[in-house]
Chain A
Amino acid sequence: MITESQKTPPSLVSKLIKMTAHQRVLAFASLIVLLIVFSIASPNFMQTSNMLAILQATSVNGVLAVAATLVIISGGIDLSVGTLMTFTAVIAGVLLTNMNLPLPIGVLGAILAGAFCGFCSGSFVAKMKIPPFIATLGMMLILKGLSLVVSGARPIYFNNTEGFDEISRGSLIGEVLPFLPIPNGVLILFIVAGVASYVLSKTILGRYCFGIGSNEEAVRLSGVNTDRWKIAIYAVAGGICGIAGILISSRLNSAQPALGLGYELEAIAAVVIGGTSLSGGRGTIIGTLIGALIMAVLTNGLRVLSVAQEWQTVVTGIIIILAVYADMMRRQKSK
């Protein structure tokens, strides 16, 4: 029985591969083109140290974008990922520096705090029926304020905690392979992305994520408690923001309570460039990863070419519009 059902007509398989591949190929090809253009334009661009800098710069936005991807595929939006990241960093600071607790507790505390905030956002959306845009806009402001309140509006430094900065800046890979000193922050990004990708494609949570984004009422009428799963999706995304909080505070060796606003838009931009549909139901983590890399390469490449910061922002905006336009064209054609 099983073997028989596995036999699918080749036309269909190739069609499916073509369809799903296309979306990623488009983003991936743009990434390659960017890399080539910048390396021709400047010999400094392709240096190993610069490549590592790009990867390092991708790590925080990449992790946040993974969190945003989950929520967006389920048909929602999370505007609070940036300030949630900051809030979890402050929580880590309070636990580690102010309370002098051991490192694992600080990390775990940040992730749990993130998950709890996500749980709250999810409850506002699922139980109180507040549109995700508004619920997470409120959450964004709440967390921005709370970060300042909890930290006393001052940065918290992690000078007492041995090895905290190693979380992001050290390199486990570099210890084994000295010629490849990939920072841990990047390693963590790839692990988070890998796990999220697995969860999305292989587990119940992922299936309901796509199902709810595609047609929530249909999932509900199939006897699934959609409210509970929606809350779970926001909570998982919140937990991932907690990981981003650890990454950024480790990189700065401090929790900066004023930071965070604007990160949510960068994350959403990466998701969109990666081909995830803002109307839900469609998207991939690998696409998001490529989207985050495109943004980092762009920023870095333009800086290497000494293009002013202001213009970098303008170019990023144009890229977002082009990426979504290309996606729309592709979809219309396939119709």
Chain B
Amino acid sequence: MMPLLVEMIGIEKRFPGVYSLRGVDFNLEKGEVHALMGENGAGKSTLMKILSGVYQKDGGTVKVSDQLTDFDGPKAAQKAGVGIIHQELSLMNDLTVAQNVFIGREPRSSWGVIDEKRLNSQASDIFKKMNFDIEPMTEIGSLTVAKQQMVEIAKALSFQSRVLIMDEPTAALNDAEIAELFVIIRRLKSEGVGIIYISHKMDEIKQIADRVTVLRDGEYIGTVEAKETPLSKIISMMVGREVKDEAVYIPDLSTQPELLAVKGLNRGKEIKDVNFSLKKGEILGFAGLMGAGRTEVARAIFGADPIDSGEVWVNGKLCQIESPSDAVAAGIGYLSEDRKHFGLALGMDVRANIAMATLNRFTRSLGALNEAEMSSIANGYIKQLGIRTPSDTQEVGFLSGGNQQKVVIAKWLLKDCDILIFDEPTRGIDVGAKSEIYKLLESLAKQGKAIIVISSELPEVMRLSHRIAVMCQGKLTGILPGGKETTQEQIMALATQ
């Protein structure tokens, strides 16, 4: 066994009213990639924030390189060689690459004056050493997300880190960029850096991790060898029960009417001559790499962005959709990939969020809202969709990701939308809740809704879709049948033309 870089024993962390971590053990060997897994709220990020000095523990011991430590802030952790790349990119968009890497420890001459030349040359040395092709004087905001990620890695390692924590580093990367990241991880590993890797993506764990530690509800469940343990075992450790991966059932839709037809859709460089149709009861998946134009197509159909040319037919009628309100009137609902920004009012309760798009239906004389009716309708959806909430007056911000997504779905169902566009419906949602969302989408299709699912996770598209539309650089490069006939390779071939 390699020497231990990190040894955490019996870690406890309480937040007002709740236990976040209860006696969690974790260790990291030199030159190892150790995956930390668990559903949302399992305590992964909390544990890592303790290790990196952002939070202080309430109990237990932490040893870094055999030294008993108790970091009082991020700086102390950095000094001890623990670097972290946070889940949300922690960069300052208006500063340059070099300024970002050295924030908080700028080389100074005197009187607090920054030595910009030395700053840039030191940054460029770091990038050269790591073989990163990044110009130190570029503004961060103008880089791609993948490059920004590389800057974060460089920043974390520039503290001479021997321990590197990566919290969902691939959440915003496409497949090519993920491959690039893995090359970097393997090189760091060979240099003896220990890496703690947090991710929801199962296939990544198999590719990159040596060991896997699973947490559930703030408790330590176990540690297993990544290569020898089947995924289903890891998933069952995470959710506390076996999750069966069901095959997609493809219904016969030949007699169903066409609900949506898109013809010759064009918008700048983003959308080039896209044509497709969607039947009642059908789930059409959209696959492609990031930036292929899938979200752009959805936003164009929904009227969120103006189009250069093209026609949208709903129910056999040509629709003039120039704004989201036109689209909603035509019966199209769009569930954005960013629920928190565009889908929900987090500070308002479940009832208000469900009724948000249909408020005029609940208006009585003098503009007062009929709360009783809103409540009974909200409770109906809570039951129908299985939204787990103490009541319809719970603030949406307190619900888990999966339940928040259900609230958004309820909002559009109440609006009587027959065509629902789901953009990354399970982003940030944990494994157990994912399969619930899948089942929900399937039952919606069975009830006669027409559904478009955009997803960056191929297994998800393949699990759900009756047909799979693949996009590449703004063009629709092909529509494949769903089910077992289509392989990942076929989809990737169309996505990378």
Contacts and interface: CB of A to CB of B under 8 A. Distances in A.
Interface size class of A (residues with CB under 8 A): 20 to 34
B90 A202 contact: no
B111 to A, nearest CB: 7
Given A214-B92, A218-B90, A223-B74, 20 more contacts: A1-B125, A2-B118, A4-B121, A5-B120, A12-B137, A19-B139, A203-B111, A203-B112, A203-B113, A204-B106, A204-B113, A207-B103, A211-B95, A211-B103, A213-B94, A217-B90, A218-B92, A219-B104, A223-B78, A223-B105
Contact of A224 (B91, B104, B108, B124): B104
B121 A5 contact: yes
B93 A204 contact: no
Interface string B88-126: 001111110001000111101001111011101101110
A2 B117 CA distance: 7
Contacts of B54: 221
Given A12-B137, A202-B114, A207 B121 contact: no
A205 interface: yes
B103 A281 contact: no
A214 B96 CA distance: 11
A9 interface: yes
A204 B112 contact: yes
Contact of B92 (A8, A12, A202, A281): A281
B136 interface: yes
A204 B108 contact: yes
A50 B121 CA distance: 49
Contacts of A19: 139
Contacts, number: 91
Q: Which 5 A-B pairs have the closest CB atoms?
A: A223-B75, A214-B92, A281-B94, A218-B90, A5-B124
10 contacts: A4-B121, A202-B113, A204-B113, A207-B103, A214-B94, A221-B74, A221-B86, A222-B90, A281-B92, A281-B93
Contact of B95 (A12, A210, A223): A210
Interface string B8-25: 000000000000000000
Interface of A: 1-2, 4-6, 8-9, 12, 16, 19, 202-205, 207-208, 210-211, 213-215, 217-224, 281-282
Nearest to B98: A5
Interface string B27-53: 000000000000000000000000000
Given A210-B95, A214-B95, A9 B135 contact: yes
A218 B125 CA distance: 23
Nearest to A217: B90
B104 A223 contact: yes
A5 B108 contact: no
B467 to A, nearest CB: 34
A1 to B, nearest CB: 6
B95 to A, nearest CB: 6
Nearest to A12: B135
A8 B116 CA distance: 14
Interface size class of B (residues with CB under 8 A): 35 or more
Given A1-B125, A2-B117, A222-B103, A210 B94 contact: yes
B138 interface: yes
A222 B104 contact: yes
A73 to B, nearest CB: 9
Contacts of B99: 207, 211
Nearest to A215: B92
Nearest to B124: A5
Contacts of A219: 92, 103-104
A149 B136 CA distance: 54
Contacts of A5: 120-121, 123-125, 136
B471 to A, nearest CB: 22
B90 A207 contact: no
Nearest to A13: B137
Tell which of B93, B95, B103, B120 has the most Cβ of chain A within 10 Å: B103
Interface string B64-95: 00000000011100100000101000111111
B172 to A, nearest CB: 16
Contacts of A213: 94
B278 to A, nearest CB: 31
Contacts of B117: 2, 6
B114 A203 contact: yes
A222 B95 CA distance: 14
B119 to A, nearest CB: 10
A208 B113 CA distance: 12
Nearest to B84: A221
Contacts of A9: 135
A202 B74 CA distance: 25
Contacts of B103: 207-208, 211, 218-219, 222, 224
Nearest to B121: A5
B94 A202 contact: no
B125 to A, nearest CB: 7
A290 B199 CA distance: 50
A180 B240 CA distance: 83
Nearest to B117: A2
A205 B112 contact: yes
Contacts of B90: 215, 217-218, 221-222
